[in-house]
Chain A
Amino acid sequence: MRAALLLVALALAFAASILLPFGLLGSLDPDILWSLIVELRLPRALLALAYGATLGASGAAVQALFANPLASPDLTGTTSGAALGAVVTAYLFGFAAPVALSIGSVVGALGALALLLALAGPKAETATLLLSGLAISALAGALTTLALALAPSPFAFYDAYDWLMGSLIDRSLEQAAFAGLPAVLAIALLLRLGPALDRLSLGEEVAQSLGHDVTRLRLWVICLTALGVGACVAICGAIGFVGLVAPIFARRLTRGHPGRAILPAALVGALLLLVADLAVRLAPLGRTLPIGVVTALIGAPFFLWLVAHMRWRLAS
Chain B
Amino acid sequence: MNLDQIDIRDAFFDQLYLKGSIDNNVIVLSADMDAFSLRRFAKDFPEQYINVGVSEQNMINIASGLALSGKMVFCYSIASFATLRCFEQIKVNICSMNLPVTIIGAGAGFSFGYDGPTHHGHQDLSSMRLLPEMSIIELSSNDLAQKFVNFAFENNGPLYVRLDKGPFPEWKEYNIDFSKGYRILKTLEQINLISNGFMARTTLEVAKRLTSNGINCGVIDLFRVKPLPDKLYEEIICKSKKIITIEESCKTGGLGTCLSEIIAQSENNCQLQVIGTPDRQFIEYGDRGWFHKKYGLDEIGIFNTIINNI
Partners in one complex: no
- A residues neighboring B (CB under 8 Å): none
